[in-house]
Amino acid sequence: MLGEFEQLVLLAILRVEDDAYGVTIRRAIVDESRRDVSLAAVYKTLTRLEEKGLVVARVGDPTPERGGRRKRYYALSAAGRRALRQSIEVVRRMARGLGLGLEPS
Amino acid sequence: MSCVGFAPPRVALWLLRRVVPLTEREVFVGDLLEEGQAMAIRDGNATARRWFWRESLIAVLTLRRRRVITPVPQPAGDSRMLTFLGDLRHGARLLRRAPAFTLLSVLTLALGIGATTAIFSVANPVLFQPLPYPHPDRLAIVGERDADGTMSNVGFLTYRDLARESRTVERAAAMGSWQVTLDDHGAPERATGQRVSASFFSVLGVRPALGRDFAAAEDAPSTNSVVMLSHGLWARRYGSDSTLVGHTISINGAPYLVAGVLPASYESVVAPQAEIWRVLGYDASLPYACRTCRHLQMIARLRPGVTPADAAVELSALSARLVREFPKEYPAAGAIVLSLGDATLRAARPVLWAVLGASALVLLIAAANVANLQLARSMRREEEFAIRSALGAGRGRLTAQLLAEGLLLAVIGGVAGLIAARVTLAMLVARLPATMPRLGVIALDKTALTVSATITLALGVAIGLVPAMKDGRSEVADSLRSGRRLTGGRRHLARAGLVVAEVALALMLLVGAGLLARSLVRLMSVNTGFDATHLLTLQAQATGPKYPDNNAVYLNHERILASLRQLPGVKSVAIVSQLPLGGNLDMYGVNAEDKPLANPELAPYADRYAVSPDYLRAMGIPVRRGRDLTAADNSDRAPLVAIVSAGLASRIWPGQDPLGKRIHIGGPNPPWRTVVGVAADVHQRSLDATESSQFYLPERQWQFADNVVAVVVRTANDPTSLARAVRTAVQGIDPSQPVTALATMEEVVSTSTAQRRLALMMFAAFAGVALVLAVAGIYGVLAGAVAERTREIGVRSALGATPADILRMVLLQGMRLAVAGLAIGLVGALSLGRFLRSLLYGIDAADPLTLGMVALLLAAVALAACVLPAFRALGVDPITALRSD
């Protein structure tokens, strides 16, 4: 079972697809969740997810606005997709029939 | 808005470099920069920088948890020193950045350290240093035990017998005072000296620097015109002329052989003002060498291992034998032996202990104040500590940093204090009473420096550790996470405790000052027995070959009186052998014809005043019964008369009329004289003496003429305006005789209380400082508390608290501290009061009026210190206060 923030991070990676690195992942979460999330928190979670083998990272190209620093792109591994699906599945089952207005779309 | 304008905060970048694990650093910082750039374009540079900072700090806190960076190992050896130097540099930077705090702390510390160092320097020779002779613990003063148990001087024969027969005394010497006029090598000069046995310097263990010691053969009546000079006198008056040794100088108009010159380091502890020593040269044939002629002091070097108490036992046994042999010559049996240190320094010790204690209290208050400032500052430095802690600084490192800062502060304060001590020490010594022992050796010496360095280091450690004590890591992390909400309850408690201590210490000092002030007021309002206003006094003398007999001296006196009477503004003039409160001690036993005593030595002692006519009138001493002495009493055929004081009359003839009774005074076979009057009692020795007796007689009716006398001049107006004319007139009678001690009688009275005045002055100064520091402490704590409780106060007033409620709340908080301090201080003052007791007069150390007044004063001042923060609390706007967080 994933933590809530882990779910958000994984979903954010999927959402920004090919362009998933720290800045975009954080923006996706901030935009959709309307909460101020710190980059450090995002990184902490990414590192944990990487250690669990749920995401894979690859190093990208440096850009000038980053002071010539490289990016690190993230993508979900197969295990990551499975874990995310199961986790959301659990939430959905638990919420079913409770009249929360969350019936399957 | 410039889009290239975003400059990331450099310190934050530096922090990140230090803290973010290598694996994430590049991409993390890159992300931050990219987002910061974007935010700068969208929301402006300031917002972006703020965001960048916040992100960095959060990163510092959260990313470090992974411990990817290994903690820097504690450097050893030299590098530990380097770390300490780094801490010092860092501390210096911080101090520069907070100049107000630094200045306040340094000044406070300088005050405490300076005061303590200066007072320690003054007290050190008397309280702590051994006397400057070899084996000083074996030197002792031996006296006879009087009937009332007090110590008295010895007669020559008693000294001789005790010195000869004692087995506990290795060597002994007798000494008496000697006032001389040096009359060659320049203008006549009055000098103080001692007459001493030939063995005197070898008893002390001192050898002359030049020439030789006195020879035993010189210690006889016909060969005793031999002197030893102090190094100071030899240099000052005789120009350090080494050919002087072995030649004669003129003293009191007679030639004296200079045997030697003492070393410059010789310190005359027994007679602080002595500069010249003459061989005693007594033998049993001299009339004043008798057993009852107790005008000599006996100094002894005890055998090794013998204590003064041992010697007292043996000498008391010897004394008992002498009393059996000569029952009529001793009032009582027994000997009293005091170590030289006790005998010479005892009197000065209470005042020095009291003042030293007072300065220590000031030091404690100063330390509490600075610790308080440090605590207040450390509360504002939470964030810094949090970051340093996040950087991997362990508690030890943080403590070391705080310690370095405390030491730095203390050392700066210590140096400033030493400078202050140096400056004030000279002023202080100038104000010390001249009678204080060991004045000459007071200096800011190595001991004083060691003491102040020790104090400084201890203070540094204390003020460094007080804030460090509460800086555990957990609290630090909390503080960063929870923002400014943390109030640091334990530290508030510490600050409150320090303020309570300050108030308590200030109260003790104020009580001391109050008690001393009231003592002095009471003392000065003591009826001296004479009228000190409009009275000018000076010392005149008639010594040397021009005055071969008594009559020449009397004629000199009469010429002085005649010339002064002609001065305009002079109401009356008189001459007296000793001035009340002038520091003399000239007493004789008085025997009444109708009250014979089996042992005449048991007769009451009274001060002798050989006076010119008009003395009582000039001094304003009331004649209670009978008559004053007149010029007629000085004629050759006049019957012998005396006036006794009321106290003496009631001791000898309680309830009887003394007029017409006959008495004889001193000596082996004195003539009878008739009491013709009773005068009011005067204070001779000190204002606080409880019992005194005096007798007055015409100077021509005494067996010898007094060569040195006091002249008293009652003036119509301000006596100081006549000082110059009086001096000139007296000097004009005989230019070869020095005129000294010109002063108003009020000055003489006031000088007699010099020790008390000194103690009062110091206590008042210290108490003032303590008051200011304590008030600053209360104000600081309360102002800080109000600032921190702004939100709470806002909530309270939003919930309907009236201004009066808030005022009461803040005032109560402040006054609770003050009252706690007052309560503790009162207990302290009551228990420390006994150290002051010997300096008090007519007032109890626990005097409720003084304690109450001082407590009220301090409470009022504390209340005033609370008012400003309280009104600031009133000004808190609930809306702003609530929104601010």
Binary contact (B62, A21; C-beta < 8 A): no
Closest partner CB to B27 (pick from A22, A26, A44): A22
Say how far apart CA B340 and CA B859 lie, in whole Å.
47
Do the Cβ atoms of B30 and A69 come within 8 Å? yes
**Cβ contacts (< 8 Å) between B61 and chain A: which residues?**
40
pLDDT digits (tens, 9 = 90+) for B653-672: 998 999 999 998 875 578 89
Closest CA to B191 of B252, B135, B245, B149: B252
Containing B589, the helix (H) or strand (E) segment is: strand B587-592
Q: Which of B331, B361, B380 is the last residue of a domain?
A: B331
Per-residue pLDDT tens digits for B453-473: 999 999 999 888 877 765 444
Q: Is B633 helix (H, G, I), strand (E, B) or coil?
A: helix
Cβ pair B781, B372 in contact under 8 A? yes
Separation of alpha carbons B352 and B345, rounded Å: 10
Both structure tokens of B817: 């501290």
Domain containing residue B443: 348-524+754-883
Q: Best interface-test mutation with B: which of A27, A43, A59 has the largest number of B CBs within 10 A?
A: A43
Q: Are residues B488 and B563 in the same domain?
A: no
Q: What is the pLDDT of residue B58?
A: 84
User: DSSP labels for B271-336?
Assistant: STT--EEEE----TTSGGGSTT---BEEEEEEPTT--HHHHHHHHHHHHHHHHHHSGGG-SS--EE
Spell out the residues 6+ positions from residue B711 whose beta carbon is closer than 8 angstroms to its own.
B537, B538, B539, B540, B560, B564, B573, B574, B575, B726, B730
Does A40 contact B59 at a Cβ distance shorter than 8 Å? Answer: yes
> Which residues make beta-bridge pairs with B537?
B712, B743
Model pLDDT for residues B21-45, shown as the tens digit of each residue: 777 788 888 888 888 888 888 888 8
Q: Is residue A32 part of a domain?
A: yes
d(CA B234, CA B231) in angstroms, rounded, equals 5
B263 contacts: CB under 8 Å, gap ≥ 6: B206, B207, B208, B209, B231
Please name every residue paired with B843 in a beta bridge, in sequence order, or none if there are none: none
Using a CB-CB distance cutoff of 8 angstroms, which residues of chain A are in contact with residue B34? 23, 63, 65-66
Same domain, B559 and B703: yes
| Structural domain includes residue A98 | no
pLDDT of residue B668: 58
Q: Does A41 sit within 8 Å of B24, measured CB to CB? A: no
3-class DSSP string for A18-33: HHCCHHHHHHHHHHHH
Highest mean pLDDT among A14-18, A25-29, B80-84: A25-29
Distance from CA of A17 to the nearest CA of B (A): 17
Q: Name residue A82's amino acid.
A: R
pLDDT tops 70 at residue B1: no
Range in B184-188, B713-717, B720-724 the model is least confident about: B184-188
| Whole-number pLDDT of residue B634 | 85
Instruction: Answer whether residue A101 is part of any domain.
Output: no
Separation of alpha carbons B573 and B722, rounded Å: 13
Angle between helices B382-390 and B45-63 (to 10 degrees): 50
Phi, psi of B195 (to 5 degrees): -100, 125
- pLDDT value for B874: 81
Name residues whose C-beta falls within 8 Å of residue B325's C-beta, 6 or more positions apart in sequence: none
Amino acid identity for residue B441 in this structure:
V
Residues contacting residue B39 through CB under 8 Å, at least 6 positions apart: B6, B47, B48, B51
Q: Is the pLDDT of residue B129 over 60?
A: yes
Q: What is the mean pLDDT of residues B834-857?
A: 89
Of B31, B54, B63, the CB nearest to A22: B31
The whole-number pLDDT of residue B649 equals 93
* Residue A69 within any structural domain of the chain: yes
pLDDT score for B804: 87
Is pLDDT above 50 for B68? no
In a domain, A15, yes or no: yes
Q: Regarding beta strands B673-679 and B662-665, do their DSSP bridges make them parallel or antiparallel, or are they unpaired?
A: antiparallel
Band the pLDDT of B486: cuts 50, 70, 90. very low
Whether A3 has a pLDDT exceeding 90, the answer reads no
Burial of B451 (0-12, 13-18, 19+ CB in 10 A): middle
Which of B527, B506, B485, B466 is closest to B687 using CA atoms? B527
pTM: 0.70
Whether residues B34 and A26 touch (CB distance < 8 A) is answered with no
Contact state of A43 with B28 under an 8 Å Cβ cutoff: yes
| Residue B187 CB-density burial (10 A; 0-12 exposed, 13-18 middle, 19+ buried) | exposed
Q: Does a structural domain hold residue A76?
A: yes
If you average pLDDT over residues B363-367, what whole number do you get? 91
Rounded Cα distance, B119 and B425, in Å: 8
Write the DSSP string, B668-704.
SSPPPEEEEEEEPP--SS-TT-----EEEEEGGGSSS
User: Is 80 exceeded by the pLDDT of residue B816?
Assistant: yes
Domain count along chain B: 4
B226, containing H or E segment:
strand B226-229
Model pLDDT for residues B494-527, shown as the tens digit of each residue = 888 888 999 999 999 999 999 999 998 888 888 8
With respect to residue B4, please indicate whether it lies within any of the assigned structural domains: no
Sign (positive/negative) of CA torsion B450, B456, B458, B461? Answer: negative
State which of B65-79, B392-406, B861-875 shows the largest mean pLDDT.
Answer: B861-875
Q: Residues B750-754: contacts with CB within 8 Å, 24+ apart?
A: B750/B524, B751/B433, B751/B581, B752/B581, B752/B583, B752/B686, B752/B687, B753/B520, B753/B523, B753/B524, B753/B687, B754/B432, B754/B433, B754/B435
Q: Give the pLDDT confidence score for residue B3 in this predicted structure.
A: 44
pLDDT of A103:
61
Residue A63 to residue A49: CA distance in whole angstroms: 26
Residues B561 and B645 in one domain: yes
Of B706, B736, B766, which residue is a domain's last? B736
Over 80: is that where the pLDDT of B482 sits?
no
B181 and B275 housed in the same domain: yes
Identify which of B719, B639, B629 has the alpha carbon closest to the alpha carbon of residue B674. Answer: B639
Nearest-CB residue to A65 (from B37, B61, B63): B37
Looking at the fold, whether B448 and B559 belong to one and the same domain comes out as: no
State the Cα–Cα distance between residues B318 and B323, nearest whole angstrom. Answer: 9
Q: Spell out the residues 6+ positions from residue B804 whose beta carbon is closer than 8 angstroms to its own.
A: none
User: Which pLDDT tens digit goes with each residue over B235-287?
Assistant: 999 999 999 999 999 987 889 999 999 999 999 999 888 999 999 999 888 87
What distance, in Å, lies between the first and last C-alpha atoms of chain B? 31
Which of B829, B760, B248 has its CA nearest to residue B505? B829
Angstrom distance (rounded) from CA B8 to CA B59 = 15
| Residues B435, B472 within the same domain | yes
In a domain, B846, yes or no: yes
Checking if the pLDDT of B69 tops 50, the result is no
Q: What percent of chain B has pLDDT over 90?
A: 45
Give the mean model confidence (pLDDT) for residues B758-769: 88
Strand pairing of B535-541 and B276-279?
Answer: unpaired
Mean pLDDT of B483-489: 48
Q: Is residue A58 part of a domain?
A: yes
Regarding whether B675 and B650 lie in a shared domain, the answer is yes
Mutation pick from B3, B19, B26 vs chain A, by most beta carbons of A within 10 Å, is B26
Q: Are residues B758 and B832 in the same domain?
A: yes
**Alpha carbon B41 to its chain's center:** 72
- Give the highest mean pLDDT range of A98-102, B200-204, B706-710: B200-204
What integer pLDDT is reported at residue B148 of this predicted model? 79
Quote the pLDDT of residue B291: 86
Residue A72 falls within a domain, yes or no? yes
Please report the pLDDT score of residue B123 as a whole number: 92
Q: How confident is the model at residue B77 (pLDDT cuts 50, 70, 90)?
A: low
Let me know if residue B744 belongs to a domain.
no
Residue A29 reports pLDDT greater than 60:
yes
- Which helix or strand (DSSP H or E) is residue B106 part of? helix B99-127
In angstroms, the CA A6 to CA A11 distance is 9
Q: Does the beta-carbon distance from A66 to B59 stay under 8 Å?
A: no
Q: Are residues B372 and B304 in the same domain?
A: no
How far, CA to CA in Å, does B254 sit from each of A96, B88, B184, B197, B709?
131, 70, 10, 20, 21
Q: Which residues of A touch B31 (CB under 8 A)?
A: 21-23, 26, 39, 66, 71
Q: What is the pLDDT of residue B71?
A: 43
Mean pLDDT for A45-72 is 85
Number of domains present in the structure of chain A: 1
Q: Does B786 lie in the same domain as B690?
A: no
User: Does the beta-carbon distance from A65 to B26 stay under 8 Å?
Assistant: no
State whether B189 and B322 are in the same domain.
yes
In percent, the amount of chain B with pLDDT more than 70 equals: 94
Domain containing A77: what range?
4-93
Count CB neighbours of B370 within 10 A: 29
Q: Are residues B371 and B452 in the same domain?
A: yes
Q: How many CA atoms are closer than 13 Å to the CA of B636, on its beta-carbon side? A: 1
Stronger pLDDT, B481 or B448, i.e. the higher one: B448
Average pLDDT of the segment spanning B668-684: 89
CATH number for the domain spanning A60: value is 1.10.10.10
| Out of A21, A43, A70, closest to residue B63 by CB | A43
pLDDT of residue B730: 93
Is residue B65 scored above 70 in pLDDT? no
pLDDT tens sequence across B527-583: 889 999 999 999 998 887 888 888 999 999 999 999 999 999 999 999 999 999 987
Contact residues, chain A, for B62 at CB < 8 Å: 38, 40-41, 44
